[in-house]
Structure 1
Amino acid sequence: MSEPNDLPSNWGRWGADDELGTLNLITDEVRERAAREVRTGRSVSLAVPIQPAPVLSGPFPPRTAEESPVQQLMLYTGSPAIAYADALTVTNHHPLSTHLDALAHIPQDGQVYPGRPANESVTMGGVVHGSTTAFAEGIVTRGILLDFGADGPVPADRALTAQDLEAAEERFNVHVEPGDALVARFGWVQTRYSGNPMPGMSLDATRWMHDRGVSLYAGDLSDAYPPVCSPPAMHGVALPRLGMPLIDAVDADELASVCAELGRYSFLFVAAPPRILGLTGVPVNPVAVW
């Protein structure tokens, strides 16, 4: 597959030193609009629960997609113990961990957003540009759910297009506006990452997100497998070229159920990851509030 020459980009849009990317689109006015979505106080989490694996012989990264992304080492204080504590080893970019990708996670042609040399931005001592430092204040905006799996899982051979996104808007009576977080449900939360083909977004859909001003993407899937385009639409274009943070491995099933029950597919979207700086990604518990 040859790479298209008309890929959208935000490089230079907010300056050569920018680390927020499309989070720049979340203005005070956008947050105020988002706050108006809260009328009942009902909320749900979009994160996949994680069961830590006990560390028995020393920490090591998971060797398969089925192994827990978190290892737990229990620490005891005193005898008898007067307190208990634990140390965790976390693998951030793991298919069983709902996590927020920083902009330096994926380089393009030796550069990370917005055109900074990758070897100067990501070092053995941590990430010095495009890291999780940009998420330190948390993310608060309006969320929009487009439930493509409402009638059953999206077929494995589908790459969703701009037409699919607009059809979902019409079906669920929502309209994605600049600064909104887009939550996409393919209906694959139980069967993804099993080595089988999976659907995902097309480059056409990514261009649509750019035109609409999507600030953040969260989905139970993002890029199709095997790849249907080069570079991949979300991790190859949206993240490194648009500077759009991605929340991978979302579980949007309960979100979809509540949206259908309330008849409302827009909500206050809050993502407050641990305030750990200088990482390529970080576990996160996104929350929707109506």
Structure 2
Amino acid sequence: MGQEDASMPTDLPSNWGRWGDDDERGTLNLITGEVRARAAAEVRTGQSVSLAQPIEPVTLLGGPFAPETTEGSPVFQMISHTGTVQASADLMLVTNHHPRSTHLDALAHQTFEGKAYPGRPLAECVTPIGVRFGSTAGFASGIVTRGVLLDLAADGPLPTDHVVSPEDLEAAEEREGVRLESGDAMVIRGGQLLRLNQPIPGLSVDSVRWMHRRGVSLYVGDIGDAHPPQVPGAPSPLHTVALARMGMPLLDAAQVEELAAVCAELGRYSFLLSAAPPRIHGLTGVPVNPIAIF
């Protein structure tokens, strides 16, 4: 027998089998009618804020296979005029997991030891012609829940080598006078916009364990997994543990600066969060415009 990999934690949280072997919603199952009603009660003034990065498309005529960089656009566009009427239309080519596109990761996007949530072999889930299981079909009814912003950058952006701990999360709760409850979406501000192949802070595995204990239904953040990885060879806390093992969709590359400003102005860090992506099935991820309503 080979030596055990010391970098592999042995007590990682998991929801495999919790909602059945055919479940494609994962922790979105925690968003019950009661949770939605609690979220609706957060709406008092009607003020709304987008959590999506703005996207400026570039022309498809220049070629869709440019390197994926932080300067490159996630959307290529070609304008066309069709028929005899004076109407315009366009064709888009979208890179769903681009760091300049706010998007939802579907449950089949990542695996743990070759298996996707809730423990299915990857070959059963993802094929060359589309995602058969654990795709964006799980988002068909949209996501409506209570969002809670934990602003970890209230005193300035987190250092690029910072590892977000449960103590950081609880300190933010205490400072803001709020508490994450089962079914809530956790929104994190680290003050560091995601950059491809650039150092960024990230959450620890202990923070993901904390999210599991609290019953967080959705992760939203301007940061995610650290780059470079905190422990080389170990599972990524969010993409491997939270997404693949816990079945927690990740709302990646969110823009939360305006949200943080509104929360600070109102003195409120909880709100109704709505995320309704296009109803396109069979994808590993999809762009989304999350809206916070106060």
TM over 0.5: yes
One-letter amino acid of the structure 2 residue matched with residue 66 of structure 1: E
Aligned residue type for 1:93:
H
Structure 2 CA distance, aligned partners of 1:196 and 1:93? 16
Could you tell me how far 1:78 is from its partner in structure 2? Answer: 4.3
The correspondence of residues 54-133 of structure 1 with structure 2, limited to 5 A, is 54-60=59-65, 62-78=67-83, 82-133=86-137
CA contact (8 A) 2:99 2:196 kept: no
Could you tell which deviates more after superposition, 70-79 or 81-90? 70-79
Q: Which deviates more from structure 2 when the two are superposed, residues 56-65 or residues 177-186?
A: 56-65
Among 170, 173, 179, the alignment partner of 1:169 is 173
Query: In the alignment, is the contact (CA less than 8 A) between 1:62 and 1:69 conserved in 2?
Result: no
User: Which amino acid in 2 is paired with 1:96?
Assistant: R
Distance 1:227 1:176, change over 3 A: same
Determine if contact 1:201/1:224 at 8 Å carries over to the other structure. Answer: yes
CA contact (8 A) 2:69 2:196 kept: no
Amino acid at match of 1:224: A
Is residue 259 from structure 1 mapped to residue 263 from structure 2 by the alignment? yes
Superposition map of 1:1-290 within 5 A: 2-60=7-65, 62-78=67-83, 82-189=86-193, 192-193=194-195, 195-229=197-231, 230-290=234-294
SS in 2 for 1:239: helix
How big is the shift at 1:125?
1.6
Divergent runs of 4+, >2 A: 57-65
The Cα shift of 1:62 comes to: 4.3
Determine the C-alpha separation between the residues in 2 that align with 1:62 and 1:68.
10
Structure 1 residue 36, shift from structure 2 partner: 0.1
Cα distance, 1:64 vs structure 2: 2.3
DSSP 3-state at the match of 1:142: strand
The alpha-carbon deviation at position 126 of structure 1 amounts to 0.7
State the secondary structure of the residue aligned to 2:244: coil
Larger mean CA deviation between 247-256 and 1-10 belongs to: 1-10
Amino acid at match of 2:132: V
Determine helix, strand or coil for the equivalent of 2:178.
coil
For normalisation by structure 2, the TM-score amounts to 0.95
Matched position secondary structure for 2:263: helix
- Answer whether contact 1:197 1:225 (CA < 8 A) is retained: yes
